[in-house]
Structure 1
Amino acid sequence: MQLVAGPKGYWLYTEAEAQKGATPAFEVRPKLGFYCRGQQVVGFSLQPLKTRTTAHAEAIQVAK
């Protein structure tokens, strides 16, 4: 995810949108809330995802 300043607030780019150069689906507007494709999203709760990551073999070797 990448947060980029836009004309009305901040755009939330996913990795796929950023790679394709696509317009982001989500936008956060100050004092107005969270929007998806121009429509206000009501009753949302942003939570961090719990993901498991594995270190690359190269990073493990460098750490040693």
Structure 2
Amino acid sequence: GIAEVHFNEEYGINERRRDKALRDRLVDFGIRVSKYRDQTVAPVGQILTQQNEPYSVFTPFSR
């Protein structure tokens, strides 16, 4: 049988829900799950403003 599943993270809302549901199901069956970043340098949500909020507008283009 399957012992381990590896996959790259996707960051859309539906994709994150899908990945969590799949991960939970695989863990229920005793299958190890490893996920990896491939589209970002830092994890989504790690780089924040001084107000501890995610950046919303790239400053040079803000008016």
Give the alignment's TM-score, normalised by structure 2.
0.21
Larger proportion of strand: 1
Give the alignment's TM-score, normalised by structure 1.
0.21
